[in-house]
Structure 1
Amino acid sequence: MLSTAPAIDAAISKATADPYHNLPRAVFLAATSNDASLYEGKGGWARLPAEPVSNDVLEKEGEPITADSIFELYSATKLVAAIAVLQLVEQGKMRLEDDASTYVPELKEAKLFKGFGEDDNLILEHNATPITIGMLLTHTAGSSLAPARRCTLADNITSGFRYFMFNPDVVKIAQKLSVHPLPNAEGAIREWVTKMPLMFKPGEHMIYGPNIDWATLAVEAVSGKPLEQYFKEHIFESVPPLGIHDMSFMPNPSQIPMAFADEEDPSKPLAIRPNTPLSKTQHFGGAGLKGSPRSYLKILRMLLRGGELDGARILKKETVDLMFEDHLATNQQRQELRVFGKDMLDPATPRATEPSRDLTYGIGGALTGKDLATGRGAGALTWSGMANTYWVVDREKDVAFVVWTNVIPFACQLIHDLWFDVETELYKARMISTAPSIDALLTSATSDPYRGLPRAVVLAASSTDPVVYSGKAGYAYRPPAPASKEVLDKEGVPATDESVFEIFSCTKLVSVIACLQLVEQGKLRLEDDARDYVPELKETKLFTAFDEKGDLVFEDNSSPITIKSLLIHTAGFKYDFVDTRFPKIAEKLGIPPAPYYKGAVREWLTKTPLLDKPGEHWGYGPNIDWTSLIVESMSGLPLNEYFQKNIFAPLGIHDMSFMPNPQQITMAYANAADPSKPHTIGPNPPLSETQHFGGAGLKGSPRSYLKILRLLLRGGELDGVRLLKKETVDFMFQDQLETDQQRQDLRTWCKENVCPSTRRAAEMSKDMTQGLAGVLTGKDLPTGRGAGAMAWSGLANTHWCIDREKDVAFVVWTNLLPWGDQRFFDLYYDVETELYKGLKE
């Protein structure tokens, strides 16, 4: 069952709590290609007294809604009709490019409406443009709805056959021609479609309307069967069958009554009365089917599975693929669809404005243009019926679902609020398809926590989904000496995504965010000379050589040390493991060879010299530690307090701090000389608890750190909290290095320090450059990581990555020293590969 099922249940219950003033009923069903019942939820009543009654009376006289209740589908019928047309195309009995008048002679007589004359007489002319089957399926034939904003012909109405509910001209035309203004009214369909004129030249525009009704006349002509019979024999009860027995155009005594909301005063109770009278004898593909959500989901799942379900192949896979392609021929048509979608959806709920952006049209429904805030994937096929019977087939995310209620009018506030919420919760619970493969990798890598990895936590998220993968294996704590599995299970504490890790240089990303916040506030600029903010930097010397006695030779530094150079490691400060000269320099100066040790950070910073002239080379080192002094100076807050107040607390992070944490996991130390020997389990390196600097020292959980990554993936905002402007985040992901020499320095260091760990990672150092807070991938990698992704790590193998091109952020953490352990890098490479494979699938 979905992890978010309780949240969806609650949303449905809330939406149907008062069936007379909210929704009378709601059914939400979801399935995947391999799971026929991913989620099933329902609330409210199939039947209820016409006048508002108490809950006690409702319980006694009402009939609860179910997934098998019979709904009026209205335009959800169109998808079934499109499937029928495509079946005949597969059989070679018609083609999408065929002139539909070949099969429906009445179309040869179609007129083109040009306007009203002086006496309101219709000005019509013969249509000389072929109306193809494809046009009828994509609402570009000239027989269509006007935009929902009820504009006039002179106000950019470009539609064909228009339903009267959207344009008063259609009523006037229908009156002049003595036909019913609503095409699906009892006994009026054939008369309507054969008498009403085209409202624009076929192929010029895309406006919604009864085009598919014409297409199903072609289905009847080619198949020799009434539409009801064709649907039953070839789709619903095909051989082998889909097993649908409750879907039909015919009246069904079990059908639920319609609920009508008062458009003028939504606070009034819903009116419960019989459905709009649709034709019982003339059946057309635009509307009219009645059936259950459970049966309709079978049709959606058949498409999700490429045209086959439970041994019944209804369509070829290549035909289904064709349905999910953009079939609009011009940008004008796409814009008209988007205006229609915006006008129809936006008045219902501001949160639904996004689905109309970048829409295009496939066959059977509209195609989502890009990933939506709810989590729905780009290219998902979707549509609805007039009484709010929504459906979605999302092949990218491998999910199909329906949200049905049978309330009129279409797009009422109540159903759109519910639709948005349940769709969001559905996608929140969906994880990548390769999750089992990643789980297996983690289990294998930690199977011997004394010689393999002691633990591994992998978390991944997208901009719209806080968790697309979550996996963990191994132990946060375990006995120091190798123990049996029985003892481990008894005495060990499993690692979780809330275990507290030492994150070392992952601290740097948080420091950069803090610095950029002050830049946005105008308190400093990246091009400023840092010596103006930190006086100690004015005394910093430039190391030039060892003299013949081995003594240190310095000269004064006359070059500016910009804040930006500190953030991108071109200021000239380097770590001991980056520059082999430094351990000897540190010995001569009487300081530790590396910063961050207990009580030594500030002393280390103020005594260590520059090893390169500022701006000449890239060299990884304690540069960002200097910027944290600037943050403290300009904010008036100690660094830990600044982080808590301006970054962690707003994001809901409560377990990240420089301070000691009794829940912190124990460090594992591998034997670098003989990796086959058991790890040493010991205390963490003695990092300063009182002097906090931006280069290392934070402790926290993978779950919390992923929030920071996702904040950046979303352009500086998360869950309504904005910490950075979007343009600031965009700037972080730009190449910040200024010379080819700097880029070569970076790539050489990464090649020598990453590639020895695993030859499969050699590609990762090619074409790298430096952003703000991490290195940027130069081109797409074999793992699937996209060009421009930002990544870095902490000393104890706490890696992170933000890939904006592929819309994913992830962490792979273990807390095993030394950095670059072969076992960890093997896991890292394989996990990243499977992660991207799953995202692609």
Structure 2
Amino acid sequence: MKRRFLYILTVTTFISTAIGQENSKKVIQETAKARLDSTLQSFVKNGEVAGASALIFEKGKEVYFNAFGYADMENKVPMKRNTLVQIYSMTKPITGTALMTLYDKDKFQLDDPLEKYAPEFANMKVYKGVDSNGEMILEDLERPITIRDITRHTAGFSTRDDVPGFSEALKKADPFNWENTLPQMAEKLGNLPLWFQPEAKWEYGPSVDVQAFLVERISGQSYQEYVREHVLDPLKMTDTRYIVPKEDRSRMSSAYRKTEIGELNQSPNDEAHAFNYKKWPLTPGGWGLTSTLDDYMRFARMLVNDGKLDGEQILEPQTVELMSTNHLDENITDRSWLPSKGQVGFGIDFAVRIQPPASVEENNGVVGEFFWDGAASTLFWVDPVNELTAVFFVQIFPYNGSLHKRFRDAVYGPIVLPKNSQ
């Protein structure tokens, strides 16, 4: 993948090519590692998380790993390299990758109408509000939903629970019940209205679950079988799965919740891991997988290496570039909470950094990086400029983006703004 970037952030990283002396390089690396250790330790020491771990590769080589605190605080089980965690929305880029393997086989085009392959989503209605009786007012689609829409969250699907009429209808239909198969989910979702017209706004939601259904529809295989055969197994991601067998459950990290008064509460494992301890009909594309640092790093390394790892070509190089390119038109100004991620647009199941940080309070990063995170505050990113990939694991609710800010600063060093912006 050949890219040119107009701006490369000047930061202290593990990058050593500009360091003339081997001793100087070693000092820089040791300083960065000490900074990372201190940062991860502080998360645990301050009681923000029970355990934290991170793995970083640069130019194909491991340059950092460490783990601190506990996976299971009550039973004093330490956070380890092979600890299994629930990655929640970090499932989404894996689903997008599975879908785009079909794109590489010319099975669809991004601007194809979704209804071409899934008539369940033909002639949908769009929510406009409610009348005096509380009944939904609906209008026709201005244009069909496209596959591009479901890869960039502009399709109009939503799981909001605060929209009069709409939220009640969504709850009644219950498309995301774990007892539903993906086709049943699609049928129920297609019988509901969209919250907005396609491309009117960016709204995070169930679009990636629709992607998983589309993989099934186009490939003729179950999503779980397809993603295993075409992504996970070729990458040797054997710990990345929906169902964790009994013999591996001792490696599962517990889930934790920070209370309003700052206490760290450990959730009962059977409750927190209910989805992953039983085979359910639903195999969501947007969440549900568990993984380890090393497994997810193999996925990230495939992406930074133009879709290939250890001789396995998962995606074509131009497809990785397409996925990591911003697909949000500047006219899409309503972007919910996406701006909180920094100066980003959105590609195919990744946020894509399009500008350097505008302030020291923003998330650190390099123009051209692409990334995503999960509800339990996990994070990964791919930095093609520096050939760097990072995976960060914690298991804390509610989502804590400040952990990501501090971890990124530990990787790259403090944000250095251009003089004319200060």
User: TM-score by structure 2 length?
Assistant: 0.83
Residue in 2 aligned with 1:460? 56
More deviation in 631-640 or 657-666? Answer: 657-666
Residue in 2 aligned with 1:709? 300
Alignment of 1:276-291 (within 5 A): none
Counterpart residue type for residue 613 of structure 1: Q
1:647 to 231, 243, 246: 231
Q: Is the 8 A contact 2:323 2:348 kept in 1?
A: yes
Residue in 2 aligned with 1:795? 375
Q: Is the 8 A contact 1:523 1:634 kept in 2?
A: yes
Q: CA deviation at 1:591?
A: 3.0
* Structure 2 CA distance for aligned equivalents of residues 661 and 818 of structure 1: 27
1:378 to 1, 7, 17: 17
Q: CA deviation at 1:576?
A: 1.6
Check 1:826–1:624 CA distance in 2 against 1; reply closer, same or farther (3 A cut). Answer: closer
Q: CA deviation at 1:770?
A: 1.0
Residue in 2 aligned with 1:813? 393
Q: CA RMSD in A?
A: 2.8
Residue in 2 aligned with 1:444? 42
Q: Deviations over 1:459-488 (max 9, x none)?
A: 1112321x2211211211132xxxxxxxxx
Residue in 2 aligned with 1:681? 267
Counterpart residue type for residue 745 of structure 1: D
Alignment of 1:416-431 (within 5 A): none
Q: CA deviation at 1:657?
A: 0.9
* Structure 1 CA distance for aligned equivalents of residues 212 and 232 of structure 2: 16
Q: Is residue 304 of structure 2 the alignment partner of residue 727 of structure 1?
A: no
Please state whether the residue corresponding to 1:745 is helix, strand or coil. coil
Q: Deviations over 1:762-786 (max 9, x none)?
A: xx43x42111111112322346511
* Structure 1 CA distance for aligned equivalents of residues 314 and 29 of structure 2: 27
* Structure 2 CA distance for aligned equivalents of residues 667 and 592 of structure 1: 29
Counterpart residue type for residue 331 of structure 2: Q
Counterpart residue type for residue 397 of structure 2: L
* Structure 1 CA distance for aligned equivalents of residues 293 and 177 of structure 2: 22
2:166 to 585, 606, 617: 585
2:32 to 415, 434, 438: 434
Q: Is the 8 A contact 2:159 2:170 kept in 1?
A: no
1:548 to 132, 142, 145: 132
2:355 to 758, 764, 779: 779
Q: Is the 8 A contact 1:463 1:713 kept in 2?
A: no
Q: Is residue 136 of structure 2 the alignment partner of residue 508 of structure 1?
A: no
Q: CA deviation at 1:798?
A: 1.2
* Structure 2 CA distance for aligned equivalents of residues 459 and 745 of structure 1: 34
Q: Deviations over 1:58-89 (max 9, x none)?
A: xxxxxxxxxxxxxxxxxxxxxxxxxxxxxxxx
* Structure 2 CA distance for aligned equivalents of residues 560 and 552 of structure 1: 21
Q: CA deviation at 1:741?
A: 3.1
| Alignment gaps of 5+ in structure 2 | 1-13, 417-422
Q: Is residue 26 of structure 2 the alignment partner of residue 398 of structure 1?
A: yes
Please state whether the residue corresponding to 1:456 is helix, strand or coil. strand
Q: Is the 8 A contact 1:713 1:808 kept in 2?
A: yes
| Alignment gaps of 5+ in structure 1 | 1-374, 382-392, 400-429, 480-490, 755-763
Q: Is the 8 A contact 2:49 2:264 kept in 1?
A: no
Q: Is the 8 A contact 1:589 1:607 kept in 2?
A: no
* Structure 2 CA distance for aligned equivalents of residues 609 and 597 of structure 1: 21
Q: Is the 8 A contact 1:442 1:827 kept in 2?
A: no
Q: CA deviation at 1:594?
A: 8.5
Residue in 2 aligned with 1:14? none
Q: Is residue 287 of structure 2 the alignment partner of residue 696 of structure 1?
A: yes
Q: Is the 8 A contact 1:576 1:593 kept in 2?
A: no
Q: How many residues matched?
A: 386
Residue in 2 aligned with 1:574? 158
Q: CA deviation at 1:632?
A: 1.0
Counterpart residue type for residue 222 of structure 2: P
Residue in 2 aligned with 1:595? 176
* Structure 1 CA distance for aligned equivalents of residues 105 and 152 of structure 2: 21
Q: CA deviation at 1:529?
A: 0.9
Q: Is the 8 A contact 2:92 2:286 kept in 1?
A: yes
Please state whether the residue corresponding to 1:506 is helix, strand or coil. helix
Q: CA deviation at 1:646?
A: 0.9
Q: Deviations over 1:271-321 (max 9, x none)?
A: xxxxxxxxxxxxxxxxxxxxxxxxxxxxxxxxxxxxxxxxxxxxxxxxxxx
Q: CA deviation at 1:833?
A: 0.9
Q: Deviations over 1:733-789 (max 9, x none)?
A: 212112x232x222x5234xx4xxxxxxxxx43x42111111112322346511121
Q: Is the 8 A contact 1:779 1:787 kept in 2?
A: yes
1:477 to 53, 72, 76: 72
Q: CA deviation at 1:589?
A: 4.7
Q: Is the 8 A contact 1:596 1:696 kept in 2?
A: no
Counterpart residue type for residue 679 of structure 1: N
Check 1:469–1:593 CA distance in 2 against 1; reply closer, same or farther (3 A cut). Answer: farther
Q: Is residue 415 of structure 2 the alignment partner of residue 829 of structure 1?
A: no
Q: CA deviation at 1:828?
A: 2.3
Counterpart residue type for residue 729 of structure 1: V
Q: Deviations over 1:702-736 (max 9, x none)?
A: 22111111111111111222111111111122121
Q: CA deviation at 1:444?
A: 2.2
Q: Is the 8 A contact 1:459 1:469 kept in 2?
A: yes
Please state whether the residue corresponding to 2:302 is helix, strand or coil. helix
Q: Is residue 83 of structure 2 the alignment partner of residue 499 of structure 1?
A: yes
Please state whether the residue corresponding to 1:731 is helix, strand or coil. helix
Counterpart residue type for residue 654 of structure 1: T
Residue in 1 aligned with 2:11? none
Q: Is the 8 A contact 1:575 1:594 kept in 2?
A: no
* Structure 1 CA distance for aligned equivalents of residues 171 and 347 of structure 2: 34
Q: CA deviation at 1:599?
A: 4.0
Identity %: 23
Residue in 2 aligned with 1:609? 193
Residue in 1 aligned with 2:8? none
Instruction: Using CA pairs under 8 Å that are at least 6 residues apart, name the structure with larger relative contact order, 1 or 2.
Output: 2
Q: Is the 8 A contact 2:212 2:285 kept in 1?
A: yes
* Structure 2 CA distance for aligned equivalents of residues 831 and 494 of structure 1: 20
User: TM-score by structure 1 length?
Assistant: 0.43
* Structure 2 CA distance for aligned equivalents of residues 588 and 460 of structure 1: 44
Q: Is the 8 A contact 1:670 1:680 kept in 2?
A: no
* Structure 1 CA distance for aligned equivalents of residues 324 and 143 of structure 2: 26
Q: CA deviation at 1:665?
A: 2.1
Q: Is the 8 A contact 1:709 1:809 kept in 2?
A: yes
Runs of 4+ aligned residues of structure 1 deviating over 6 Å after TM superposition are none
Q: Deviations over 1:180-224 (max 9, x none)?
A: xxxxxxxxxxxxxxxxxxxxxxxxxxxxxxxxxxxxxxxxxxxxx
Give the structure with higher Rg (CA).
1
Counterpart residue type for residue 456 of structure 1: A
Check 1:500–1:685 CA distance in 2 against 1; reply closer, same or farther (3 A cut). Answer: closer
Please state whether the residue corresponding to 1:690 is helix, strand or coil. coil
Check 1:559–1:785 CA distance in 2 against 1; reply closer, same or farther (3 A cut). Answer: same
Residue in 1 aligned with 2:10? none
Q: Is the 8 A contact 1:586 1:608 kept in 2?
A: no
Counterpart residue type for residue 520 of structure 1: D
Residue in 1 aligned with 2:419? none
Residue in 2 aligned with 1:69? none
Q: CA deviation at 1:569?
A: 0.6
2:257 to 669, 694, 703: 669
* Structure 2 CA distance for aligned equivalents of residues 531 and 677 of structure 1: 48
